[in-house]
Amino acid sequence: MKYIVILLTFFCLFSCDEKKPETITQPKVETLVEKMGEDNYELYKDSLINSDSELLEIRSFVEKHKPNYDDIPYTFVWNDQRYYMPTKGQVQTLDNGSKHFELIGLVDSNNNAVLPIEFDRIHTPDKILQGFIEVRKKGRQGLVSRDGDYLLKPNYTRLYPGFNDYLVCTFGEDGYGYLDLDTTYHIIKNEEEIEFMAELFSDLSTKKWQFNVNNEVPFRSVMSIIDFAGEPDASGYLCPPQFLVDYGFIKNELTDVIVGDEEYFGEANTNIEVYDVSKDEKGFWTFIGKFIMEIPESRGYVEERRVLTTVNNEHAISNVTFTQEKDFNLCNDSLVFKKLNDTIFEAKCQEWGKGDFQAMESYKYYSINRDEIVSLSSDRMFPFTKFVVIDSSYFYGCWRKNIPENEIEEDINLIVYNHLTIEDLDVMRNEIYAEYGLKFKTTKWSEFFSNFDWYSPKSENVDELLTEIDKANIKFILEYKKRMKFNENGKVKIDSIGWSAAG
């Protein structure tokens, strides 16, 4: 009994002296919702990896099935189901660093084949028709359901979103056609083609041609998901509808698309709108596409583009692109591309200047001949005087000139003004004569135009060479200049700024 008491006492003393383990508070792990914000998360949730189990599922799938393929580069969620895109054949690395796979297919999360690995390209789901995905095989387009059933076999050059009683519209070797609401296919007869094209290229139809990266289902890089544990990144990949590519509105593939968070370098937003659709007396259809791409890099980058596209009577496509970097434009003027009449299109943006201008409003002009768009050339600093009967709107804009080095103070090196000066109007008027080779009587203008390679003085009088547009513009400039003499300071608003190009 004595020993028992001693042992109990010892046990009690030992237990009472022992320190209790400290309670360790686990650091809070920030969820994707908290990282991104509710609105941003809601927008991208179908493209994100939302749990460790989902990440583990992707890793396990790749480890298990990649030996059966040359690669499994992409995965995406479509209608709450995860799909993978296995490939085979040669891999081509493009100039932008992205990879183009020779053949690509589609499998579900159990590795059941949805599309065999025999396609050139798999396009953005739901864009041509809800519930279907556009595919490209041997240069021809088709439409396939989520279950891998063909609605349209890949026999067509282009597929268009449907409208009114058309489920899907097509163009191929037999001309135009469409699927009706009962999925019966119809070929448009020759005598019906003009009327059908008028519907296909109408405002009602082309409104469905809009394409916005943020509204589409991006394919995500499998390796990027694994490397970055499924968090938002710039590894998204999109393949726009082929008809937008054919019309020159967008490139074949969009790589480095940002999925879920704008802190990454990549394409945060690419948006396409088609407007100003018209048909001329020759039967040419013309479209102007508005393209904007935003890349949130260290200094930011926004590219704005206009695309003029024509489709002639023989269905041949021609296009020309006009581009402006927004960070170059200090006045934030939008790029303008418009139709002046049935024969002339006008494009305006900011470009590096000529003569005394560091940068200026730049105008370019295009006409349409039998089968292509032709750029109209002019040596003039203000080319609108050659192609357009102008009004005062052409004198307003964003104009920049360098301050001479010996006059620069506190890094202020540019003069920016919103209206051309009287001196600029004199240049505008005299360069009309100079382009025809006038020998100027004053030293000032002889020396001024001698700085231009195109100037070749050869005649004392060039009045007979002037066009009616030239004459109208010379008269207007002189009249406007007279009115401006009394209030030049009121017309021309000048700012002095410091500016340098970011490296």
CA distance 33 to 223: 23
In 70-148, which ranges are E strands?
71-78, 81-93, 99-108, 113-119, 121-125, 132-137, 140-145
H helical segments located in 24-182: 32-36, 38-44, 52-65
Q: Are 265 and 296 in contact (CB under 8 A)?
A: yes
Q: Are 72 and 59 in contact (CB under 8 A)?
A: no
Judging by DSSP bridges, how do beta strands 185-187 and 494-497 pair with one another?
unpaired
Query: CA-CA distances (angstroms) from residue 28 to 24, 25, 31?
Result: 12, 9, 9
Which sign, positive or negative, has the C-alpha torsion 67, 71, 75, 81?
negative
Phi-psi region of 441 (alpha: psi -120 to 50; beta: other; left: phi over 0): alpha
Per-residue pLDDT in tens (0 to 9) along the chain, 503 residues: 444 444 334 334 434 344 444 443 433 434 444 544 555 444 444 444 555 677 888 889 999 999 999 999 888 889 889 999 999 987 776 555 556 678 999 999 999 999 999 999 999 899 999 999 999 999 999 999 989 999 999 999 999 999 889 999 999 999 999 999 999 999 999 999 999 999 999 887 888 898 887 777 778 778 777 765 545 555 677 888 999 999 998 877 776 665 554 444 444 456 788 888 888 877 888 888 887 766 555 455 677 788 899 998 888 898 888 777 655 555 656 678 888 887 899 998 887 767 777 778 889 999 987 678 999 999 999 999 999 999 999 998 888 777 666 555 666 667 788 889 999 999 999 999 999 999 999 999 999 999 999 999 999 999 999 999 999 999 999 999 998 887 776 666 665 544 444 44
Q: Which CATH architecture has domain 355-367+378-503?
A: Up-down Bundle (1.20)
- Count CB neighbours of 241 within 10 A: 22
Angle at 147 between CA 143 and CA 148, to 5 degrees: 45
Phi, psi of 147 (to 5 degrees): -90, 0
Question: Where in the chain are all domains bearing CATH 1.20.58.1690?
Answer: 355-367+378-503
* Amino acid (one-letter) located at 357: F
Judged on CB neighbours under 10 Å (0-12, 13-18, 19+), 109 is middle
CA distance 152 to 208: 20
H helical segments located in 147-235: 193-200, 203-206, 222-227
Q: Is the pTM of this model over 0.85?
A: no
Largest CA distance in the chain: 138
Q: Hey, is 178 helix, strand or coil?
A: strand
* 222 Cβ neighbours under 8 A, 6+ residues apart: 58, 62, 72, 73, 74, 75, 84
CA-nearest of 23, 130, 39, 113 to 79 is: 130
